[in-house]
Amino acid sequence: MKLILLGCGAVNLSLLEILLARRTELSVRYGLQPKIAAVVDSRGAAMSPDGLDIKELIRVKKSKGSVAQTTPSGRADVNALDVISEVDADMVVEAIPTNLRTGEPSLSYVKRALEAGRNVVTANKGPLALTADLLPSLANKRGLFFRFSGAVGGGTPILDLAARCSLGDRIVGFQGVFNGTTNYILSELEAGLSFEAALRAAKERGYAEADPLIDIRGLDSASKLVILSNAVFGTRMKLKNVKVKGIRGVTKAKVANAAAKGRVIRLIGSGGIAPAVAPQEIPRESPLAVNSAMNAVTFELERSGSITISGKGAGGKETAGALLRDILTIHAKLGGFYPARDETAPRVATVV
């Protein structure tokens, strides 16, 4: 399978490392022998119809800053649109920065990829949250696969769980903590830090978005709520349809007041008829009362009651794992195998 990678930052660089570390296992167990036909970053691309040397790509990106510096396959005079149109590939794996105002440029890249007949895997919430079912519909019309499990919950398979639950039951509603940065800040307020100190700590730990207002105002949570709602309920909701209130008004005093009642404040996204994101007081023993940068979602099922999934909501390595899940799922639909062909086949330890 030939892949084009758009972006070579925390997520896609980790994906390259995983593909290298698990090369044998992926081939033996799943029949996946990925060839990296091109990788694009903000300064150019590396391209080879026979597949790039992954180890060399990683070395060049880490040491020289851009894949365009790879010799002889690097080019500084091309961009993602050129590469999508010109390079032969089965799939485009998109992990460039999110834009929650216009979705660009990734929206145009994904559209171009689908129009060019490429299957697409993305971790980018912007285009999905802003355009409802535009991209899934475009993929459907063209008989292509489009998956985005890394866009909600990083490596935690929230969308995958929802899809499995929906097979045998009906999800009637869900509530969740969708943003690690705000959850970290709220947890630190509980520990006695001021809002500013907690935000600083979140930035130092690399949790916050480049523009932390996206987290604090609740827009990141709302975009994930939209994506999950559309996937679960088949709606065509957009970010603008969500009533959003962020955590700026949550003070140390409010958190302490909740704690005195055995409760915590969490930024909760609620899916259903009136989708909303807002800080809520919930019991400390609620499964949604996760700490630090964790995410959690509780699905209400018609027959089975509630099911909660929780885990790290972000992280380059973790999200790269979600991309790989999607790649393997599409690979299986295109003739590869998943679950593994032979459960007794050797498992290669994954240390990335």
Ligand X SMILES: NC(=O)c1ccc[n+]([C@@H]2O[C@H](COP(=O)([O-])OP(=O)(O)OC[C@H]3O[C@@H](n4cnc5c(N)ncnc54)[C@H](OP(=O)(O)O)[C@@H]3O)[C@@H](O)[C@H]2O)c1
* 224 part of the active site: yes
Closest to ligand X by CB, 317 or 331 = 317
Min dist CB 247 to ligand X, Å, is 19
> Which residues are CB-contacts of 256 (< 8 A; sequence separation ≥ 6)?
none
φ, ψ dihedrals at 116, nearest 5°: -85, 5
Binding of ligand X at residue 96 (CB under 6 A)?
A: yes
Binding of ligand X at residue 11 (CB under 6 A)?
A: yes
Listed as own residue / partner, the contacts of 52-55 with beta carbons closer than 8 Å and 24 or more positions apart are: 54/16, 54/19, 54/20, 55/20
The residue from 224, 240, 261, 317 that is catalytic is 224
Residues facing residue 277 across a β-bridge: 244, 269
> Which residues are CB-contacts of 238 (< 8 A; sequence separation ≥ 6)?
129, 130, 131, 132, 226
- Subset of 22-61 contacting ligand X (CB under 6 A): 40-43
In single-letter form, the type of residue at position 203 comes to K
Binding of ligand X at residue 95 (CB under 6 A)?
A: yes
Binding of ligand X at residue 80 (CB under 6 A)?
A: yes
Among the listed residues 6, 57, 162, 258, the single contact to ligand X using CB under 6 A: 6
Give the residue among 149, 165, 124, 167 at the shortest CA–CA distance from 10.
Answer: 124
In single-letter form, the type of residue at position 162 comes to A
Min dist CB 35 to ligand X, Å, is 20
Q: Residues in contact with ligand X, total (CB under 6 A)?
A: 25
Binding of ligand X at residue 123 (CB under 6 A)?
A: yes
CA 55 to chain centre: 24
Binding of ligand X at residue 97 (CB under 6 A)?
A: yes
In single-letter form, the type of residue at position 37 comes to A
Give the residue among 156, 142, 131, 311 at the shortest CA–CA distance from 230.
Answer: 131
Closest to ligand X by CB, 57 or 282 = 57
Min dist CB 10 to ligand X, Å, is 4
CA 221 to chain centre: 12
Query: 296-335 mask for ligand X (x: CB under 6 A)?
Result: ------------------xxx--x----------------
Enumerate binding residues for ligand X (CB under 6 A): 6-11, 40-43, 66, 80, 95-98, 105, 123-124, 150, 154, 314-316, 319
